[in-house]
Amino acid sequence: MEGIILAGGQSRRFGKEKCAALLEGRPLIAWAHEVLTCCRTVAVSAHPRTEASRFARDHGLDVVCDEAGDPAGPLAGIRAGLRWAHSRGAILLASVPCDMPLLPGCLVPRLSRARGNALASVALTPEGLQPLCALWHVALLARLDVAMREQRHPAVHDFLNAIDAVEVDFTEVAHFKNINFRRDLDQVASGRLKYQ
């Protein structure tokens, strides 16, 4: 099993590349990397010449880029990650976004145990599906190839529903706090200890 950190977004709402924003002295992308330590190797889905790709190079991680002409969106990054995982002989790819620094360390093992024979498993909290916190089988490449070839980018929720992904319950909503704005980062920084 390989892992990928999804860091290809433009961070418009945050105002700068948020993967490099610091929480307790560490960039957000480092927190994501920590969640994937159970994977054999980890790559970063990012555009070239970004803070995310620089982090990857500095830590000996591969940088995976979307295919030229792909519609923009996270499934393009997952597709590129699946191609990378397949090239390494893996059959599974765990994905996490770069902007959820409180993700539990048990995330990937629990997704793996629950997947069974399904093509994917995904985290579910009381607030809903967390579609980028998922485990994907490389057999999904064919379906993603079709979607991208048709120049469309399905919603990740819809794609997961279409493939009957296993939903794995996580009860602590705070662990899946997404950093979209600077105030989100301030909120996490001020209250982090109570979530441990």
The domain that contains 74 carries what CATH number? 3.90.550.10
Q: Give domain status of residue 196, yes or no.
A: no
Q: Give domain status of residue 127, yes or no.
A: yes
Helix 74-87 / helix 141-149 crossing angle, nearest 10 deg = 140
Task: Indicate whether 10 pLDDT > 70.
Answer: no
What the block records as the tokens of 25 is 């002295």
Identify the domain containing residue 186 by its residue range.
Answer: 2-191
Look at the chain and report how many structural domains it folds into. Answer: 1
> Residue 139: what pLDDT?
97
Q: Give domain status of residue 53, yes or no.
A: yes
> Residue 151: what pLDDT?
61
Task: Indicate whether 86 pLDDT > 60.
Answer: yes
pLDDT digits (tens, 9 = 90+) for 14-30: 656 788 888 889 999 99
Look at residues 145, 134, 143, 138 and name the one whose alpha carbon lies nearest to residue 91.
Answer: 138
Distance CA 168, CA 174 (A): 16
> Residue 166: what pLDDT?
97
- Cβ-based neighbour number of residue 183 at 10 Å: 9
